[in-house]
A and B are shown apart, each in its own frame.
Chain A
Amino acid sequence: MAVTVRIPTQLRELAGGASEIQVEGKTVAEILGALEERHPGFAERLHDDSGELRRFVNVFVADEDIRFLQGLDTAVTDGQTVSIVPAVAGG
């Protein structure tokens, strides 16, 4: 078992065009770290210089915004889906 990460259009090029990737990890930080290890380039796109998520990047675990959970420390369990979604839609 692993976690499914849904990749937004803007980042699919880094993942060979894939819209979903399976990785292992127990927290969002570990998942994103595993993503970077598999496909180098994700980290600098998702994080700012201080290591925080860029302010226009939203991450959801099982459809909940991680800012309502524990941020990058949010726990992720096998079989859950982590979605990376641009924040500038809507309104």
Chain B
Amino acid sequence: MAHVQGLRCRECGREYEIAPVYTCEWCFGPLEVTYDYAAVAAAVSREQIAAGPASIWRYADLLPVDRGHAVDLGAGFTPLVRADRLAAALGLGEVWVKNDTLNPTNSFKDRVASVALSKALEFGFKTAACASTGNLANSVAAHAARAGLRSFVFIPSNLERAKVVTTAVYGGNVVAIEGNYDDVNRLCAELAGTYRWAFVNVNVRPFYAEGSKTLAYETAEQLGWETPDHVVVPVASGSLLTKIRKGFDELHQVGLLDHAPNVRVSGAQALGCSPVATAWREGSDTIRPVKPDTIAKSLAIGNPADGYFALDAVRQTEGGLAAVSDGEVVEGIRLLARTEGIFAETAGGVTVASLKRLADEGVVTPDERVVLYITGLGLKTLDAVEAEPTATIRPTIDAFHEAFDPDHIDEE
């Protein structure tokens, strides 16, 4: 059983009872779940967590859902791999990759969808819905199928074909909107006021967003209950970055860490959609919305709901924010693939390229233990990279030797 107290506005502090609501009625600020951390501390231990399932549900005491209602495809507990070859290529020391491409629908969104749909069942909803740049669409459609819920998934009509197929195959409704993600999002915010559906990232958002904390929990557990010095996180709405930071803090609060975490948090954005990085660079307290123009469509949110909180987290922890070009994104995808054998989607390319940028600028330093969050699989954005066979030949030894000089082939 979760140890939830209620909901609290992040802006003005007004408190609300647990319900499918997401904004403060007074100031429109976002609502956040509050916990009885003393009760959590009494319930959890490293041993109890280690004995739990190999999924996000091993941390059920820190999630706002009743364990028995879990809609579970096995999200989470993905590998944290030491990335020495990537570190060497970037002139860094200890770098780890949290490989969240290895989730049931191949992105970190399975964490939040699993939590959101579990909560939706608790609330008694019969229909799950979402606004998505693609990864959440996959995940909500899959988890809704698993739970026997009807689904309505709203996406921008220019989405990568792979993400349309990998959503529609689950049999729910997929609605392509003639507009960008922010248009989709606005429509969903209005529809959420009309239909009694569980819009996972609208009226169920306070619960949904908590699923991202598990990325911090796993990172610490996989590092032997230690925290990294620096994390690099892709920024779309800013929710993931904000929740990863919160996750590390909570672990200490409930007694699972020996020392208070001191994690520098850095963000990664694509240049063609970098409202948070722009505000950081300009030292501004205002995040101006932008019209996205980037191949990193899963990060193409021009009006980021949690942008202010992400900016605060970066400033408070003395991290940085990078904005990288589409060319750097593609090179980032290739660099991670050829050094570590992990094929990331464009958002991962943004994250790798941003780490390179932050390392070059001295924001991330060689003495730091760095964790890089790779949130989605490369097969989802196959069109972003061009890759051809090294040679195309007839099936003969001679043809092979024409293409590869036998006297030099082992020298490469």
Instruction: Identify the A interface with B (CB < 8 A).
Output: 6, 8-10, 19, 45, 54-58, 60, 63, 65, 67-68, 83, 85-91
Q: How far is the CB of A88 from chain B (nearest CB, A)?
A: 4
Q: How far is the CB of A87 from chain B (nearest CB, A)?
A: 6
Q: Does B66 contact A (CB under 8 A)?
A: no
Other than the given A63-B183, A86-B28, A90-B181, 8 more pairs (CB < 8 A) read A10-B23, A10-B28, A19-B193, A56-B11, A56-B23, A90-B188, A90-B201, A90-B301
Q: Is the interface of A mostly helix, strand, loop or mixed?
A: mixed
When distances are taken between beta carbons in the complex, the residues of chain A under 8 Å from B205 are: 88-89
Asked if B188 contacts A89 (CB within 8 A), the reply is: yes
Q: Given A58-B303, A63-B183, is A91 in contact with B238 using a C-beta cutoff of 8 Å?
A: yes
Asked if B190 contacts A83 (CB within 8 A), the reply is: yes
Give the docked Cα–Cα distance between A63 and B180 (Å): 12
Asked if A89 contacts B28 (CB within 8 A), the reply is: no
Q: Which residue of B lies closest to A53 (CB)?
A: B28
Which residues, 264 to 323 on B, are CB-close (under 8 Å) to A? 286, 288-289, 291, 301, 303-306, 308
Q: How far is the CB of A5 from chain B (nearest CB, A)?
A: 13
Give the docked Cα–Cα distance between A20 and B199 (Å): 22
Q: Which residue of B lies closest to A12 (CB)?
A: B193
Q: Does B172 contact A (CB under 8 A)?
A: no
Give the docked Cα–Cα distance between A80 and B49 (Å): 56
Report the 5 A-B pairs with minimum CB-CB distance, sorted nearest first.
A91-B237, A90-B185, A9-B193, A88-B30, A56-B28
Q: Given A10-B28, A58-B186, A83-B186, is A90 in contact with B237 using a C-beta cutoff of 8 Å?
A: yes
Instruction: Identify the B interface with A (CB < 8 A).
Output: 11, 22-23, 25-30, 131, 181-183, 185-186, 188-190, 192-193, 199, 201-202, 205, 209, 236-240, 286, 288-289, 291, 301, 303-306, 308
When distances are taken between beta carbons in the complex, the residues of chain A under 8 Å from B303 are: 58, 65, 87
Asked if A89 contacts B131 (CB within 8 A), the reply is: yes
Give the docked Cα–Cα distance between A86 and B291 (Å): 19
Asked if B201 contacts A89 (CB within 8 A), the reply is: yes
Pairs across A and B, CB under 8 Å, 21 listed: A8-B193, A9-B193, A54-B28, A55-B286, A55-B308, A56-B11, A56-B23, A63-B183, A86-B23, A88-B28, A88-B29, A89-B131, A89-B185, A89-B186, A89-B192, A89-B202, A89-B305, A90-B131, A90-B237, A90-B301, A91-B305
Q: Which residue of A lies closest to B31 (CB)?
A: A88
Asked if A85 contacts B308 (CB within 8 A), the reply is: no
Interface residue from A60, A65, A87, A91 paired with B28 (Cβ < 8 Å): A87
Give the docked Cα–Cα distance between A89 and B30 (Å): 9
When distances are taken between beta carbons in the complex, the residues of chain A under 8 Å from B25 are: 10
When distances are taken between beta carbons in the complex, the residues of chain B under 8 Å from A89 are: 22, 131, 185-186, 188-189, 192, 199, 201-202, 205, 305
Asked if B305 contacts A88 (CB within 8 A), the reply is: yes
Asked if A85 contacts B189 (CB within 8 A), the reply is: yes
Q: How far is the CB of A55 from chain B (nearest CB, A)?
A: 7
Give the docked Cα–Cα distance between A19 and B199 (Å): 19
Q: How far is the CB of A26 from chain B (nearest CB, A)?
A: 24
When distances are taken between beta carbons in the complex, the residues of chain B under 8 Å from A85 are: 186, 189-190
Give the docked Cα–Cα distance between A90 and B156 (Å): 13
Q: Which residue of B lies closest to A57 (CB)?
A: B28
Asked if A65 contacts B289 (CB within 8 A), the reply is: yes
Q: Which residue of B lies closest to A56 (CB)?
A: B28
When distances are taken between beta carbons in the complex, the residues of chain B under 8 Å from A56 are: 11, 23, 27-30
When distances are taken between beta carbons in the complex, the residues of chain B under 8 Å from A63 are: 183, 186
Output the residue of A10, A67, A88 with the most chain B CB within 10 A. Answer: A88
Q: Which residue of B lies closest to A55 (CB)?
A: B308
Q: Given A85-B189, A85-B190, A86-B23, is A91 in contact with B236 using a C-beta cutoff of 8 Å?
A: yes
Output the residue of B131, B205, B303 with the most chain A CB within 10 A. Answer: B303
Give the docked Cα–Cα distance between A54 and B209 (Å): 22
Asked if A91 contacts B201 (CB within 8 A), the reply is: yes
Q: How far is the CB of B187 from chain A (nearest CB, A)?
A: 9
